[in-house]
Amino acid sequence: MSDQTNSAWGGRFAEATHQFVAEFTASVGFDRRMYRQDIQGSIAHATMLAAVGVLSETEKQQIVSGLQEILVEIEEGRFNWRVELEDVHMNIESALTEKIGLVGKKLHTGRSRNDQVATDIRLYLRDQTDVIAAELKRLQSGLIELAASNTDTIMPGFTHLQTAQPVTFGHHLLAWNEMLQRDSERLQDCRKRVNIMPLGAAALAGTTYPIDRAITAELLGFDGPSENSLDSVSDRDFAIEFASVASLIMMHLSRMSEELVLWTSAQFDFVSLPDRFCTGSSIMPQKKNPDVPELVRGKSGRIFGHLVGLLTLMKSQPLAYNKDNQEDKEPLFDTIDHLWGSLHAFAEMVPHISPKKEKMREAALRGFSTATDLADYLVKKGMPFRDAHEVVGKSVAYGIETGKDLGQMSLTELQRFSDLIIEDVFDVLTLEGSVGARDHLGGTAPTQVAAAAERARKRLE
Ligand code: ARG
C-alpha cells in the first residue's frame, strides 16, 4: 500500500488517488459548514457506544473531550481543513486521532459516513429551519402591525391589474400574511419529517454491534430513529420537501415584491420605502430604485431551480447510498442562505413601508371602483342582477364620455339610467360606504380587518 492512499479507506488500493479526482470528489469545501452537527452527532454516538459497552467509559471521555477541543479550534479558525481528507467527517475524525491517538479510530465503530452524513444534514436543516421560522414570524408580525394601523386606509383593489373594487390597505396586507401563515405551517410540517434519526443504519444494512438507537436519538433531540436502514442512508426527500416549502415562500415574497415595485413607481405612487432599502442610479439622478423587492423577486428563480435540481438528483438513484447524494448540499445550503436573506430583508423593511394614503384614495376614486356597489344597490331595490349590471354599464360608459366617476355624477344624471335611484345612492357610491358594506368574516370592512389583525396576532403567539 502506498502511503499516499487515503488512510480511512485506502487498504485495498494499490495507488494513490489522482490529484484531480481527489479534488473533484471532495466535499469539504462546502460540507464543513456542518462541523457543529458532525461533532454533536459523534459525541452522541460515542456516548451511546459507551452506554452499551462497546467503548469503555475512559475511551468515551477521551473521544468527547478531543471532539470538544476540535470544536473550539474550528470556531476560532485554528483548524486545518484538508482537501485530501475529502469531507467534514474524515477531517474531524483524522484530527481526533492525531489528538488522542488510537482511541480516536474507535469512534467510527458501528457507523458509516453514509448514516453520519444523513444525520448531519438533518441536524443542520433542523437548526436552520428554526432560524428561518423565526425570521418568517418576525415578517408576519410586521405585516400584521402595519395592517392594524391601516384598517381604514382605502386603496383600489385589482383583478387583472385593473381597478376592481375599493379595499383597505390593511386587508391587502393581511392577504400577504395569510400566504405566509400557510408557509409557516408547511415549514413546521416539513420539520417533523426532517427530525428523524438515520444514525444506526451504518453503510446500508445496519450494524452488528449492540447499538441502542433510542439513546442517540434522544441525545440529539430527534423525535425518534428511522425505520429502515436502506431508506435512511439514501433518500433526500426531506431536503426536496424543504426546497419546495422554500420555493412557495419565495413565490409569495416574489408576488409581494412585484406589488411593491409597482406601488413605488410614479404611475401608482401608493407607498414609499425608506431610502436605506433603495438605491440610486449612477446616470439618472432622480432615480430611487426598489432594489430589495426586485432582488428578492429575482432570487425566487434560483430557489425554484434548486428544487428542480434536487428532484433530478434523486430521481434515478437505486437503493441505497450513492455518491450522487453529495450533490444535495450546495443547493440545500444556497436555498437556506437566500431564503433567510430574503426573509430578513423583508422583515426589516416591511414595518417601514409608508402608505401614501391620499394617492391611494385618489386612485380608488378613479376607475369606477364602486360600480358593483351601484349594481348591488339596484338589486336591493328589486332589479334583477343582470339588468342592474347593464344599467351600471351604461352609466360607466356615460362617465367615461364625460370624465366623471359615479360618485361625481349628480342625482339627476344618475336617474337617467334608472328611476330606482334616489338620494341614498351616495351612501354606497362613497369609498367608505363601499368598503364598510363588506362587513362579514373575511371581508374588507375596517371593523373586520381590525378583528382579523387581532386574530392573526393571537395565532402568531
Ligand atoms: N461526502 C459524502 C456525502 O456528502 C459523505 C458520505 C460518503 N460516503 C461514501 N461511502 N463515499 O455524501
Tens of pLDDT, residues 425-457 = 998 999 999 999 999 999 999 999 999 999 999
Q: Which ligand 1 atom is the nearest neighbour of the CA of 203?
A: 10
User: What is the Cα Rg of the chain in Å?
Assistant: 31
Report pLDDT for 279. Answer: 85
Per-residue pLDDT at 4: 56
**Domain boundaries, given as residue ranges, for the chain:** 17-109, 114-206+227-361, 371-429
The confidence score (pLDDT) of residue 308 equals 98
On the 0-12 / 13-18 / 19+ scale of CB atoms within 10 A, 72 is exposed
Q: Which of 139, 130, 156 is nearest to 363 (CA)?
A: 156
What pLDDT sits at residue 2? 42
Do the beta carbons of residue 22 and residue 104 sit within 8 Å? no
CATH number of 371-429: 1.10.40.30
Per-residue pLDDT tens digits for 377-402:
999 999 999 999 999 999 999 999 99
3-state secondary structure (DSSP) of residue 184: helix
The pLDDT of residue 6: 76
Identify the pLDDT of residue 1.
37
**Can 281 be counted among the known catalytic residues?**
yes
Q: What is the reported pLDDT for 281?
A: 82
The more confident residue out of 367 and 143 is 143
The grid cell for 1 is 500500500
Q: What was the pLDDT predicted at 217?
A: 98
Distance from C-alpha of 60 to C-alpha of 70, rounded to nearest angstrom: 15
Q: Is the pLDDT of residue 219 over 60?
A: yes
- Residue 326 CA to ligand 1 center (angstroms) comes to 6
Q: Are 352 and 293 in contact (CB under 8 A)?
A: no
Residue 82 is given by DSSP the state: -
Residue 237: what pLDDT? Answer: 98
Which of 2, 160, 282, 440 is labelled catalytic? 160
CA distances from 359 to 156, 267, 277, 409 (A): 10, 11, 21, 21
The active-site residue out of 65, 149, 281, 354 is 281
Is pLDDT at 334 greater than 90 in this prediction? yes
Residues 98-108: what's their mean pLDDT?
97
Distance CA 355, CA 304 (A): 31
How much is the average pLDDT of 28-41? 98
Atom of ligand 1 nearest to the CA of 87: 1
Residue 114 CA to ligand 1 center (angstroms) comes to: 6
Write the residue with the smallest CA distance to atom 11 of ligand 1: 323
Mean pLDDT of the chain: 96
N-terminal to C-terminal alpha carbon distance within the chain: 62
Q: Measured between alpha carbons, how far is residue 453 from residues 158, 179, 245, 439 in Å?
A: 21, 14, 25, 15
- Residue to mutate (ligand 1; options 122, 313, 323; most atoms within 8 A of CB): 323
* Percent of the chain clearing pLDDT 90 (strictly above): 93
Question: How far apart are the CA of 90 and the centre of ligand 1, in A?
Answer: 10
- The CATH homologous superfamily to which domain 114-206+227-361 belongs is Fumarase/aspartase (Central domain) (1.20.200.10)
Q: Which of 130, 131, 152, 145 lies closest to 177 in space, CA to CA? A: 145
Q: At what angle do helices 169-194 and 446-460 cross, to 10 degrees?
A: 20
SS (H, E, C) 357-409: HHHHHHHHHCCCCCHHHHHHHHHHCCCCHHHHHHHHHHHHHHHHHHCCCHHHC
To which CATH superfamily is domain 17-109 assigned?
A: Fumarase/aspartase (N-terminal domain) (1.10.275.10)
Q: Which residues of 255-271 are buried (b: 16+ CB within 10 A; e: fewer)?
A: ebbebbbbbbeeebebb
Fold matches, 17-109 and 114-206+227-361: no
User: Please, which pLDDT band fits residue 10 given cuts at 50, 70 and 90?
Assistant: confident
333 CA → ligand 1 middle, Å? 17
Mean pLDDT of 254-258: 98
3 pLDDT more than 70? no
Residue nearest to atom 12 of ligand 1 (CA): 326
